[in-house]
Structure 1
Amino acid sequence: MEALAVRLSGLDPYVDGAMRIVAFYDTLMRRRVDLPALARASAGLAECVAGIRLHGSGRSTRVSPHGTAAATPAVPASTEVAVTLDEEEIGTVWLERPGPPHPLDEVLLDRFALAAAGAAERYGPARTTMADPALVELVISRGTDDAARARALRLLGFAPGLPVHVVAVRTRLPLDRVGALVCPSRPVKAAPLADVGVLLAAAVDRTGFPEGVRAGIGAAEGPDRSWRRARTALRFTSPREPVVHHADLGALALLADIPEEAVRDNPDVTALGRLTPEDLETLDTYCATDSVRRAAELLHLHHSSIARRLDHIGRALALDLSTPTGRTRARLALLTGRLLDEEASGGARDDGPFRG
């Protein structure tokens, strides 16, 4: 094989150069260089500025051909390649070559990206978003002692003392994609656990959740407690409010602790089961807005139609929905009924009788 390689390199200068690049990076990987050293070596080999950016840290490293930090501002990359680890894109490597790319730049960047993935995995926690479910479960379990929890967090890439929010997610989208959207520049790990997805994140942008995702967010007050509260918040989600932070629930969170038997025996909740899905949507919208006209706007109906529906619903529930007490009872019945439906279905469906 080596003899064949020598013959090929003698016939084609491109092959000779490519083989030298491959050998160069093979040597760097055997020497187990870190990312800064890899960037310096790549810039020297390419004779232009070379850069590395890992999505997990959000930081970029740019090095000049002289081995020093490149001057800013950055020049637009002439060529770039994604860095992948475990089939997930974790970053990018690039060259900032003045003028057109060199014929061997593609080979150089391919090997640069491969070496960067190895260095990222070797010199720190893997920068992939997806994590070992067993480690994640260890972090959020109530029975884990402090030392084991701290060790699991370190293995997952969370520095000691770093706040950790736990998010309970139900989605058909890949969990790593959801994690990257809601925590783009801070540590975030994801894992499926039983019937729900789990995100561990240093910060959560609740506006970043894609459409169709249901998410309950726990505060950064200890991962085990945050997990329990995230699960509770997830039970309060609905198509109208798909993302709920436990801290925003306040006293409403107490509804999740009401025994199932007591909910089933409540006459207000029982009466909701006799309403049509259309009536339930009207009632939920009216309770959420506290306005016939605003509910009509949201449901794209005339306000007189909404008023007639509410009159019919009020008679069916034996409630005067024009009074604060009537609206409060209706809203509490909707919420507790939704929680009951969520508990019974395990959150697997969106069409239960109490879904708003």
Structure 2
Amino acid sequence: MEALAVRLSGLDAYVDGAMRVITFYDTLMRRRVDLPALARASAGLAECVAAICLHGTGRAIRFAPDGRPAPAPPQPASTTVPITLDDEEIGTVWLERPGPPNPLDEVLLERLALASAAAAERYGPARTTMADPALVELAISPDSDEAARARALRLLGFAAGLPVHVVAVRTRLPLDRIGALICPARPVKAAPLAEVGVLLATTVDRTRFPAGAHAGIGAADSPHRSWQQARTALRFTTPRRPVLHHTDLGAVALLAEVPRDAIRDNTDVAAIARLAAHPEDLETLDAYCATGSLRRAADLLHLHHSSVSRRLAQISDALDIDLTDPMGLTRATFALTAWRLLDG
């Protein structure tokens, strides 16, 4: 394999070779080529595998010198250069040269990195659902300034001014599968953060969440506020109501601001905690609080209303709350909701 300097018309001077490389990439940028075309052209120029990877997608675009996608697995990178946009690293370009690096490899990669940044800004990342968690966190963090947030959203594929809902999800299912279900035809990105999955979507079809998934949905406001709303809504989800929009909560959302110690020390909440040792009683109370009607609760539980009536009488005694009184029902509902927040 000939060295890059020989490849470039037999030039033997480093400066002349570097100028040819710069001219080569200036031409590609004027033609507004996309990332795959950049990687393919770079591989042909360098006569070795050239690759581009944006952090927002996590997918490497690798081409061999013959213009075909490079075979897996990738070889060790001989030279790497970061891709930066607005002073932030958004990806990496590299060469997989079998022998020692060529003197012009670094110049080539620096120009490839510049061209890749321009292409990423122009075309956005590849259409993939899973995203770099660090980039998602930058978009939703309350500590990010607006310029950094806008840049992160742009790199994730969300155009300026596009409404973005943030969804907090607890599920064992792959996040990309859920993203494809709830937002099948519009931009959606997903990433795991700590114990919660995060979805950023321009629209959310709340009816399409799969069974077993619990989700809180924030409003299409500023992403960091939407994230806070989504986490709050997620805390209020139950097996009976596994998907909640923050707007569904209304004033109930204020409960999320009560300190956990204050909730735990409340007499009614403590009574609910004791009742939780009896799952059937807890389920009966939940159904009654959800419906406000003995007969509707019986239908929900698939029990005769007389059986539910007996259970509720026992529960009323255990809680020391009159469940037939509207205020008593309100107390029980708030206590049950607050108790669940302790695990949220």
- What is the TM-score with the length of structure 2 in the denominator? 0.65
How much does 1:273 deviate? 2.1
How much does 1:319 deviate? 1.0
How much does 1:294 deviate? 1.0
Match of 2:230 in 1: 230
Match of 1:321 in 2: 323
Match of 2:287 in 1: 285
- Deviation string, structure 1 residues 314-343 (Cα, Å, up to 9, x no partner): 01111111111010000000000000122x
Match of 2:297 in 1: 295
Distance 2:219 2:234 in 1: 13
- Confirm or deny: 8 A CA contact 2:256 2:341 kept in the other structure: yes
Distance 2:139 2:33 in 1: 31
Task: Give the SS at the match of 1:155.
Answer: helix
How much does 1:124 deviate? 3.1
Aligned residues: 236
Task: Give the SS at the match of 1:199.
Answer: strand
- Deviation string, structure 1 residues 71-103 (Cα, Å, up to 9, x no partner): xxxxxxxxxxxxxx959xxxxxxxxxxxxxxxx
Distance 1:33 1:152 in 2: 22
Distance 1:328 1:137 in 2: 38
Indicate yes or no: 2:313 matched with 1:311: yes
- What is the TM-score with the length of structure 1 in the denominator? 0.63
Match of 1:50 in 2: none
Distance 1:261 1:236 in 2: 18
Distance 1:123 1:249 in 2: 39
Distance 1:326 1:341 in 2: 24
- Confirm or deny: 8 A CA contact 2:124 2:156 kept in the other structure: no
1:96-175 aligned within 5 A: 123-175=123-175
Quick one: which amino acid aligns to residue 167 of structure 1?
V
Distance 1:250 1:123 in 2: 40
How much does 1:201 deviate? 0.5
1:127-276 aligned within 5 A: 127-275=127-275, 276=278
- Confirm or deny: 8 A CA contact 2:216 2:237 kept in the other structure: yes
1:28-107 aligned within 5 A: 86=59
Distance 1:86 1:144 in 2: 25
How much does 1:280 deviate? 0.6
How much does 1:262 deviate? 1.1
Quick one: which amino acid aligns to residue 320 of structure 1?
D
Unaligned 5+ segments in structure 2 are 1-30, 38-57, 61-67, 70-118
Distance 2:130 2:184 in 1: 14
Quick one: which amino acid aligns to residue 189 of structure 2?
K
How much does 1:274 deviate? 2.2
Distance 2:180 2:205 in 1: 10
Distance 1:293 1:270 in 2: 28
How much does 1:123 deviate? 4.0
- Confirm or deny: 8 A CA contact 2:191 2:197 kept in the other structure: yes
Unaligned 5+ segments in structure 1 are 1-30, 38-84, 88-109, 112-119, 343-356
Distance 1:126 1:198 in 2: 19
